[in-house]
Chain A
Amino acid sequence: MFTINVNGVDHRVEAPGDAPLLFVLRNDLGLHGPQFGCGEEACGACKVLVDGAAVPSCRLPLQRVGAARVVTLEGLAEEGEPHPVQRAFSDEQAMQCGMCANGMIIEAVALVMRGNPTDDGIREALQDNLCRCGAHHRIVRAVRRAADELWR
């Protein structure tokens, strides 16, 4: 039995300690934001915020989460208002299939919270997040829009 804090709420989960956090979030907590893309920390589809840092959850063992605060795509909204990055992804129509969108948004949230990035900084930050549909330019525009809104 483990207790983890996800999206501001403590959850008791009965799962093996070596279960990847991704499966616990999806299968035990019923969250659909983080997606399985590779299970090898190579694509970014499964990213979540762990104490504010964007990390892949597909290989993070449940027992290592400890008291960290985990935030998923579902937990970004505040008082029912989507995070500016989420809004910007919608405004810029920054996806095709959207399978990569979780990882892109999570990484972008971590990035814009650190400061106002340059466009090159955005591309560097997203370098480990793959998109097969080719939505890259829209994604960069969306992050730019959100960053400008936050740091204006």
Chain B
Amino acid sequence: MSTAADGTPIDDWIEIHANGRVTVKTGKVELGTGLMTALAQIAAEELDVAVEDIDMAGPWTGRSPDEGYTAGSRSIKDGGAAIRRAAAEARQALLELATAQLGDALTVARGVITGPGGRRSYAELMGGKPFHRTIDGRAPLKHPESYSVVGTAVRRADIARKVNGLDGFVTDIRVEGMVHARVVRPRTFGARLVDVDTSALPDGVIVVRRNDFLAVVADREEVALAARAAIRPLWTDGHPLPPMDDLFGWMRRQVTDDSDLVSWPRSGDVAAGQRTIVRDYHWPFQAHASLAPSCAVADVRPDGAVVYTAAQGVYPLQRALAQLLDLPPASIEVIHREGSGCYGHNGADDAAADAAVISQELGRPVRVQWTRFDELVWARKGPAMTTRMTAELAPKGRIAFWSADIWTPTHGGRPARPDQLIAGRLRDGLAEPEATAYIGGGRNAQVDYDIAAQRVTMRWLRKPALPGSALRGLGATANTFANECFMDELAALAEVDPVEFRRRHLTDPRALAVLDAVTQACGWGLPLPAGRGRGFAYGRYDGTGAYVATVAEVSIVDNEARVERLWIAHDCGLIVNPDGLRNQIEGNLIQSLSRALIEQVRWDAGGLLCTEWDSYPILRFTQIPPLEVILIDRPDQPPVGAGEPATITTAPAVANAIAAASGVRLRQVPLGGQLR
């Protein structure tokens, strides 16, 4: 396998300083998952240094390698593989230096090489100089069986700082001469700014208005906030939205670009006694709802710019900002700083563009802090999807034919051009472009059940009802919801236990292993108290990623489903940091449970209705059930991402449990409130 490191200089990835500390540079960003610690473990392992001796350097254009976006649960797989390769090459280079000085038969321990001629530390061997050597990908890699750092629960260095308020979030950046800005936007999209009444503004407020781009700026943050409340813009109506209660019907009536992911025709005739079953499943628009709204600081000068951002890709943002500001890309320094937990393409890029546009306008450094309104209304949404499932069930409880028709817009939309940034569209009067590529909606559209005749058709909407993009799991959430609820319905019609029904259609031993592990852990099949039910769901993320199997137990209290417990078995190959992995899985389960039960973006004719936490609630402490996480470690298998897989099976497991407990089959998310 090739990595981003192959053919590049070691010095782009690893620096060994005279004081013995090691800097490891990555193009992957910390999204709040502990990625930097996991990458440091990989580097420490391959380089034979202590993990505490490593300082991770995050993305910074011109200084860190360009690894595109940090997304798609590929950070460990790709970013980790690159660092592993770079570290192995560095170790090889150090051994060659040591051979010249110390002779053969060398041993290495914690950054010190010992041989017949004595001992030298890495720092001594390097003498503060760079490696000047290209990574050719041939340096020997350690065998996972010999790992001593990878696979252990190393503690995150950032947490020790964060408990003391010491970590530098993007919100904490202050630069000399900086002013505070708030953007002013309606709760609709495509509205034009007709007029602005500034008569009630506090003293000392600057209004930045270009076309439909409107912002208020002040030396003090509370003045900018007060100005945002006092300014009276007059907007036109904006693009009409389809009626919310007809969203899924509207989606199915749109012009679509269709493509078959699979088309394996039936062979032979339909057997006697075969039944055809058709079911529809729906998934709503959902918000990232990061705990803190997006924030960015930009200092744009005539000859260049510095931008602090929590965006997922500093180089792609650099290129988009270059067009927006009409500056050469290399003159724009984009520096990543951690933001609130990031679960996809949220408002980070747009806030950076806002700050850049205002800073260019004023010729001063500007900090833009989005409000909760800005984040909930204007950050792109996880797109709604609607699916028609069809199956033919053969008499012996086998699926003879399976098909899915999936209506979805693209789950891409990351900014490469000004019209893909809010600031660009508003400032320059540009329309939101139509999708140029269809991304993400097909994740987990295809099941890995052993069914000979299948058809899976993507029906891509050219224009979504609301601006959308990647939200944790992308299409895999809605697709797994449809697939796994449908499997349960088929099992019930076949009068086969739902787990047994899946077992009959699975052959991959790793799939069967997660299924067995979770059903054993929960005691699947044991009698439950009255009013309780259990539901199961299985998936392999994006067809080639982690295997997950989830069981939910619910009770029905006052015509409402209460989730009592969730179990999950999780196999993402080699485990780099078991505690970090558990943390990720728990987070996925809680967030996806919140999405499954209560989350949906609402709107009316006047625009979006989710404008603060009350109108877009998420689960709170007392609503969160106990979780049981079973990790399956596979040191012989490459590590794949764990950022998203555990998200996809929660909603179907809960819906299946509700059906088991109440006899009512729910086919639309959010599942809460539907039994009344």
| Interface, chain A (partner B; CB < 8 A) | 15-16, 18-20, 23, 26-27, 30-40, 42-43, 45, 72-74, 77, 82, 86-87, 89-90, 93-102, 105, 120, 122-124, 126-138, 140
Contacts and interface: CB of A to CB of B under 8 A. Distances in A.
Contact of A23 (B222, B289, B579, B612): B222
B174 A30 contact: yes
Contacts of B163: 73, 82, 86-87, 89-90, 101, 105
B488 interface: no
Taking each of B291, B338, B626, which has the highest tally of chain A beta carbons within 10 Å of its own beta carbon? B291
A132 B599 CA distance: 12
Interface string B363-406: 00000010110000000000000000000000000000000000
B222 A134 contact: no
Contact of B591 (A37, A94, A95, A134): A134
A36 B621 contact: no
Contacts of A123: 621-622
Contacts of A134: 586-591
Contacts of B586: 134-135, 137-138
Contacts of A40: 372, 612-613
A133 B32 contact: yes
B34 interface: yes
B322 to A, nearest CB: 29
Interface string B623-634: 010110000000
Given A123-B621, A134-B589, A136-B624, A101 B162 contact: yes
Given A16-B223, A105-B163, 6 more contacts: A27-B174, A42-B614, A73-B164, A93-B580, A96-B341, A138-B583
A19 B222 contact: yes
Interface of B: 31-34, 155-156, 158-160, 162-169, 171-172, 174, 180, 220-223, 225, 289-293, 295, 338-343, 369, 371-372, 579-580, 583-584, 586-591, 612-614, 618, 620-622, 624, 626-627
Nearest first, the 10 A-B pairs at minimum CB distance are A97-B32, A33-B165, A134-B590, A97-B341, A134-B587, A73-B165, A98-B162, A123-B621, A133-B341, A86-B163
Nearest to A62: B222
A48 to B, nearest CB: 11
Contacts of B292: 35-37, 45, 99
5 contacts: A37-B292, A37-B340, A37-B372, A38-B293, A132-B291
A38 B369 CA distance: 11
Contacts of B591: 132-134
B588 A100 contact: no
Nearest to B371: A39
Contacts of A132: 289-291, 340-341, 343, 591, 618
* Prevailing SS type, chain A contact patch: loop
Contacts of B590: 134, 136
A130 to B, nearest CB: 6
Nearest to B590: A134
Given A82-B163, A101-B163, A135-B587, A93 B156 contact: yes
Nearest to B614: A42
Contact of B624 (A38, A90, A137): A137
B155 A93 contact: yes
A98 B158 contact: yes
Contacts of A45: 291-292
Contacts of B341: 96-97, 99, 132-133
Contacts of B168: 32
A56 B156 CA distance: 28
Nearest to A100: B291
A90 B674 CA distance: 40
B222 A37 contact: no
A124 B612 contact: no
Nearest to A102: B165
Contact of A86 (B164, B580, B584): B164
B584 to A, nearest CB: 8
B507 to A, nearest CB: 33
A105 B588 CA distance: 22
B32 A98 contact: yes
Contact of A126 (B156, B162, B166, B621): B621
B343 to A, nearest CB: 8
Given A137-B586, A138-B586, A74 B372 contact: no
Contact of A130 (B171, B291, B338, B369): B291
B171 A35 contact: yes
Contacts of A82: 163-164
A140 B579 contact: no
Contacts of B589: 134
Contacts of B290: 99, 132
Contacts of A30: 174
B583 A135 contact: yes
Nearest to A88: B163
Contacts of B620: 127-128, 130
A90 B157 CA distance: 9
Contacts of A130: 291, 613, 618, 620
Contacts of A16: 220, 222-223
Contact of B172 (A18, A32, A90, A95): A32
A18 B291 contact: no
Contact of B613 (A26, A38, A98): A38
B291 A72 contact: no
A24 B308 CA distance: 22
Contact of A32 (B33, B166, B622): B166
A93 B614 contact: no
Given A23-B221, A27-B220, A99-B341, A43 B622 contact: no
Contact of A38 (B372, B579, B618, B621): B372
A72 B165 contact: yes
Given A82-B163, A99-B291, A101-B163, A93 B338 contact: no
Contact of A89 (B159, B167, B293, B339): B159
Contacts of A43: 291, 613
A90 B627 CA distance: 21
Nearest to B31: A97
A86 to B, nearest CB: 4
Nearest to A19: B222
Contacts of B159: 89-90, 93-95, 98
Contacts of B220: 15-16, 19, 23, 27
A29 to B, nearest CB: 12
B291 to A, nearest CB: 5
Contacts of B372: 37-40, 42
A38 B612 contact: yes
Contacts of A15: 220, 222
B32 A74 contact: no
A44 B85 CA distance: 43
A76 to B, nearest CB: 8
B169 A35 contact: yes
B552 to A, nearest CB: 16
Nearest to B375: A38
